Amino acid sequence: MSVATVSSQIRVGVIGANGRMGEESCAAIQDAEDLSLVARVGRQDSLAELVDHGAEVAVDFTHPDSVMRNVEFCMDAGIHAVVGTTGIDENRLTALRRRLGPEPASGVIIAPNFSIGALLLMRFCEAAARHYESVEVIDSHHPAKVDAPSGTATRAAELIARAREAAGVGSAPDGTKVALPGARGALVEGVPVHSLRMQGIVGRTEVVFGTQGETLTVSHDSLERSSFMPGVLAAVRAIPDRPGLTLDLDFLLDLP
């Protein structure tokens, strides 16, 4: 697909354009005056469409099995990549850093959740982590979600674990001696994460902290996929000035 663009517009292609997040992204990009949607790449299409239509930035909402190949294609073609697809673990990040090299020409922004509330949840949880002995995460999503735990829950657990370690907080107390497999959740850097897959839910991340005589629950609900779009568009606008790998969107938050 090719459309006329105004020269100051950023030319954007969407990979996974026929999926739930891809469709939402295409609509949001089309509505933005400073952006131009130049390519919609579906599963049957060639990534070369991005090059053919002069995309400067690609937005990827595909599948954990596809995303690495897509991002590597973009890097090699000099196209910046804004990646919302989840399932990018430390090994994959290391591979991307290596491929980008010491003086990267293109930028890659990877965020497991583009909504402002999820970013704030992570910051609040990092701040709370050192003050509580116990912490567990509950990840609730729609039943069509292919990966568990969610990228948001995994990232929150990683950040909490690192904040606890930095503050010298030991392992959470847990006297369990007998348990069915999975009963205590999956451990992400030592933090238990429990995944619910439930009709009627878009996405909810809940972090429960506990210490002597009190608990603190920090939770975030995604009610509509439109909540991700301000973050996606902000990342598209920012990426031409951010060569290399950027994780999360904290740089967009005006927080101390």
The contact set with ligand NAD (CB under 6 A) reads: 15-16, 18-22, 41-43, 61-63, 66, 70, 84-86, 111-114, 151, 228
* Helices and strands in the chain, H and E counts: 7, 11
For residue 81, the SS3 value is strand
Shortest CB 129 distance to ligand NAD, Å: 22
Q: Which is nearer to ligand NAD, 49 or 56 (CB)?
A: 49
Minimum distance of ligand NAD from residue 52's CB (angstroms): 15
Contacts of 147 (CB under 8 A, 6+ apart): 64, 86, 87
CB of 72 within 8 A of CB of 79? no
SS3 60: strand
Q: Which two tokens stand for residue 47?
A: 């990534």
Residues 6 or more apart from 87 whose CB is under 8 A from it? 64, 67, 147, 151
List the one residue out of 51, 81, 49 whose CA is nearest residue 67.
Answer: 81
Minimum CB distance to ligand NAD smaller for 120 or for 172: 120
141 catalytic? Reply is yes
Closer CB to ligand NAD, 42 or 104, in the complex:
42
Query: For ligand NAD, which is the closer residue by CB, 86 or 140?
Result: 86
Establish whether 145 is a catalytic residue.
Answer: yes
Q: How far is the CB of 175 from ligand NAD (least distance, A)?
A: 34
Tell me if residue 27 falls in helix, strand or coil. helix
CB of 114 to ligand NAD, least distance (A): 4
Which residue stretches of the chain are H helix? 20-31, 48-52, 67-77, 90-100, 116-128, 151-166, 229-238
End-to-end CA distance of the chain, in Å? 43
Of these residues, 145, 177, 194, 220, which one is catalytic? 145
Gyration radius of the chain over CA positions: 19
Q: Which of 53, 80, 141, 220 is catalytic?
A: 141
* Residue number with CB closer to ligand NAD (108 or 209): 108
- Supply 2's token pair: 């090719």
Select the residue whose beta carbon is closest to ligand NAD and give its number.
19
Q: How far is the CB of 168 from ligand NAD (least distance, A)?
A: 32
**Residues catalogued as catalytic:** 141, 145
